């Protein structure tokens, strides 16, 4: 699993990745909740995006979740459902999170990061 992550950025770069994860995750959750309260449930992709947003918020399986977010949002864009500008932004954020990784402040870093062996 460690091959999926280049490094777990710490310091300011890690804080920037945390902010990026928070923005993407909150936006995905918001869109999913709005879709659940809609009278017509035509956006099952948005609900799937909300579930992926939870993974991104926690920093769990971030590369996989990022690829799936990009795929879901691009499907939404190509389906031509309403305003697609937010979907393009979220697809970009998902793709960059998949490439860069979650950062040091994530569950992935705790599970799959380098560990010091006490001597």
The secondary structure of residue 117, as a DSSP letter, is P
Q: What is the pLDDT of residues 47-95, one digit of tens each?
A: 888 899 999 999 999 999 999 999 999 998 888 777 789 999 999 999 9
Quick check: helix, strand or coil at residue 118?
coil
pTM greater than 0.85: no
pLDDT over threshold 70, residue 13: yes
Helices 85-100 and 62-79, interaxial angle, to 10°?
160
Locate 20 and state its tokens: 């990026």
Select, from the ranges 7-11, 67-71, 108-112, the one with the highest average predicted confidence (pLDDT).
Answer: 67-71
Q: How many of the other CB atoms lie within 10 Å of CB of 34?
A: 12
Residue where the block lists tokens 């949002």: 73
Which residues contact residue 89 at a Cβ distance below 8 angstroms, ignoring those fewer than 6 apart?
Answer: none
């Amino acid at each position: 699993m460690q091959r999926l992550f280049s490094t777990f950025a710490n310091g300011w770069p890690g804080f920037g990745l945390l902010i990026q994860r928070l923005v993407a995750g909150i936006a995905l959750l918001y869109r999913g909740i709005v879709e659940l309260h809609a009278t017509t449930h035509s956006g099952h992709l948005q609900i799937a995006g909300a579930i992926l947003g939870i993974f991104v918020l926690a920093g769990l399986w971030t590369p996989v979740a990022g690829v799936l977010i990009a795929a879901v949002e691009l499907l939404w864009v190509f389906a031509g459902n309403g305003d697609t500008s937010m979907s393009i932004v979220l697809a970009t954020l998902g793709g960059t999170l998949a490439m860069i990784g979650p950062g040091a402040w994530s569950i992935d870093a705790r599970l799959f990061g380098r560990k010091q062996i006490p001597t």
